[in-house]
Structure 1
Amino acid sequence: MNIENLSYAKRPPYRDASRIVIACEGALTEPNYFKHFEAASPRLTVTIAGKDTENPTLSAPKWVLARAEAHAEKVGLAEIDEVYLVMDVDHHEENEFRELYEICKEKNWRLVLSNPCFEVWPYMHFKESFPDTRLKPQRLKHILSTIIQGGYHPEKILPYTEKALKNAALLEKDAGYFFPAENTTKVYMLVNRLINLMGKSYFLKLIQSKKG
C-alpha cells in the first residue's frame, strides 16, 4: 500500500473547545453514529469527513487518509484538535494497515479499527460474546438485525453505551496495539474519549434524549 504522507500548515487562533475530526470509511453507518456527538456539548466540536457518496468504492485505507488530510487542510487544526480514522479490517490483512498506522502516529492522529467491521461496536451494546470465532461482515450484520427490533439505528444503541464500553474493554486483547483481535473493536476508545471531552453530564443528556 503506497500512501502519500501529505502535510498541512494552517493553524487557527486559540480556542477552548476541542475539535474532533473523524474520517470514516463508510458513507452512512459510521457518520450517522458519530454525528450524534456533533452538537451534544459546547466543550466539543465533532466534524465528520465521511465517504463521498458519489464515489462509494473509494474505501481503501489511502482514501480514508486522503479525506482526513483534505478536511484538515480545509478547516485547519489547532494543538488541542484530534483526528481519528475509523475503518473496518474486513478482508484486509494486518500488514496492510501498518503503514497507515505509522503515518497516523507521525501526525499524532489515531487509527480506529474494527475487526471485521464497525457492526462489532453496536453488537456489544447488547451482547458480551459472539456466536462464532470468526464472523464475516454480512453474517454479523444479519445477527445484529435479529437483535435490534426494526434493525440497527444509532438512536437505538446510544442508551446502552456504558454496557458497550464495558463489553468492548473486556474483550480487548491488547489495548496498546493498533490492530484489533477478531470480533473486537477499537471504537470504544474513541467513544470514551468523546465522552471525557464533552463531559459526563452532557453525555447523559444525550442518551436520555435518545430514550425518548
Structure 2
Amino acid sequence: MKYLNRNKIYHKIEPFKNAKKLYLFCEGDKEVNYFRYFQGFASNIDIIPIPNDNGKSDPVKLKENSELLFFGSEAVNSKLTLSEELQDEIWFVIDTDRWNEGDKINILKAYLAERNKDYKGWFVVQSNPCFELWLFYHFHSERPRSDEVSGYSSFKEYVNSKIIGGFDNRSMPLEIQKAALASKENFEILNGQPTLYSTEVFYLAKQIIRFTKSQLDYCLENLKIR
C-alpha cells in the first residue's frame, strides 16, 4: 500500500472545547511525532503529546514534569487542567531499556497509584525494550526473533530494517489498528512488567481508536483505491 501524508486524504478538524483530553507524557520526539498524527481526527477527543523537559526523559523526570504542569510549585503556576466530568486522562509512554536501574519505573507506578486514589485517570504504558517495538507491530504480526535482532547494533536499527524505508510518522501511524491487534496477541507480562518484545501501548491505542475508528477506516479505504 502506498502511504500518503494524512492531510492529503483527511483534513484536520479542531476538537470541541468540551472534548475529552488525553495528555501523553513521552520520553522522546519519535513518540511525540507519532501521537501528533492523530490530532484533528475527531472533534470529541483532544490528543496532547507532551515532550520531555530538556532531555530529562526517564520515568521519574516525566513524573516530575507532570507534577509541575498539573499542580505547579511555589515558583511556577500550573499550566494544565483536568476535567473529571469529561474523564480526561494522563498517560506516560515509557521504555524499559535501562530505566529499571534505580527502580525508576516502579517509582512512577507508585506515584500513579497514589494519584488514582483521588482521580482515576493516570496510566502508564511500557514497551520492552523500547517504543520502536510498537512501530514494528504496525507491519508484523509475530514477535521479533532474537537471532535476527542480535545481528544489528541496536533494536532501533533492527526495526528500521524490517519496515521498508523506516517508519514514517507522517503516514504510517494509520496502521494503529493492526499494531493494537498484533501487540496484544504477542503480549506477556512477568512480575508486573512486559516481557521482552511485549508492549502495553495497545491499551492507549484502544482509547485513540475508540474515538477515531471511522476516520481511520476512511483513510485506509481511500488509500486502497488510489
Same fold (TM over 0.5): yes
- Corresponding position of 1:193: 207
**1:64 maps to amino acid:** L
Pairwise CA distance, 1:67: 2.1
Matched positions, count: 192
Could you tell me whether the CA contact under 8 Å between 1:159 and 1:208 is conserved in 2?
no
State the alpha-carbon separation in 2 of the partners of residues 39 and 48 from structure 1.
13
1:96 aligns with 2:109: no
Cα distance change of structure 1 residues 161 and 100 upon mapping to structure 2, 3 Å threshold: same
Cα distance change of structure 1 residues 134 and 97 upon mapping to structure 2, 3 Å threshold: farther
Could you tell me whether the CA contact under 8 Å between 1:24 and 1:51 is conserved in 2?
yes
1:112 aligns with 2:125: yes
Unaligned 5+ residue runs, structure 1?
1-14
**2:68 maps to amino acid:** A
Cα distance change of structure 1 residues 98 and 153 upon mapping to structure 2, 3 Å threshold: same
Cα distance change of structure 1 residues 172 and 161 upon mapping to structure 2, 3 Å threshold: same
State the alpha-carbon separation in 2 of the partners of residues 24 and 138 from structure 1.
24
Could you tell me whether the CA contact under 8 Å between 1:159 and 1:210 is conserved in 2?
no
Max radius of gyration: which structure? 2
- Corresponding position of 1:163: 178
Tell me the alpha carbon deviations over residues 173-205 of structure 1, each in whole angstroms, 9 at most, x when there is no partner.
Answer: 149x75211111111110111111x14213324
- Corresponding position of 1:63: 61
Could you tell me whether the CA contact under 8 Å between 2:94 and 2:125 is conserved in 1?
yes
- Corresponding position of 2:22: 20
- Cα RMSD over matched residues? 2.7
Could you tell me whether the CA contact under 8 Å between 1:88 and 1:116 is conserved in 2?
yes
Q: Report the TM-score, using the length of structure 1 for normalisation.
A: 0.79
Unaligned 5+ residue runs, structure 2?
1-16, 71-77, 117-121
1:125 aligns with 2:138: yes
Pairwise CA distance, 1:210: 7.5
Q: Report the TM-score, using the length of structure 2 for normalisation.
A: 0.75
Pairwise CA distance, 1:93: 2.2
Percent identity of paired positions between Structure 1 and Structure 2 = 27
Cα distance change of structure 1 residues 70 and 46 upon mapping to structure 2, 3 Å threshold: farther
Pairwise CA distance, 1:209: 7.2
47, 69, 74: which one aligns with 2:79:
74
Could you tell me whether the CA contact under 8 Å between 2:39 and 2:46 is conserved in 1?
yes
- Corresponding position of 1:38: 39
Q: Tell me the secondary structure at the aligned position of residue 174 of structure 2.
A: helix
142, 145, 153: which one aligns with 2:160:
145
- Corresponding position of 1:204: 217
Could you tell me whether the CA contact under 8 Å between 1:49 and 1:67 is conserved in 2?
no
Cα distance change of structure 1 residues 149 and 100 upon mapping to structure 2, 3 Å threshold: same
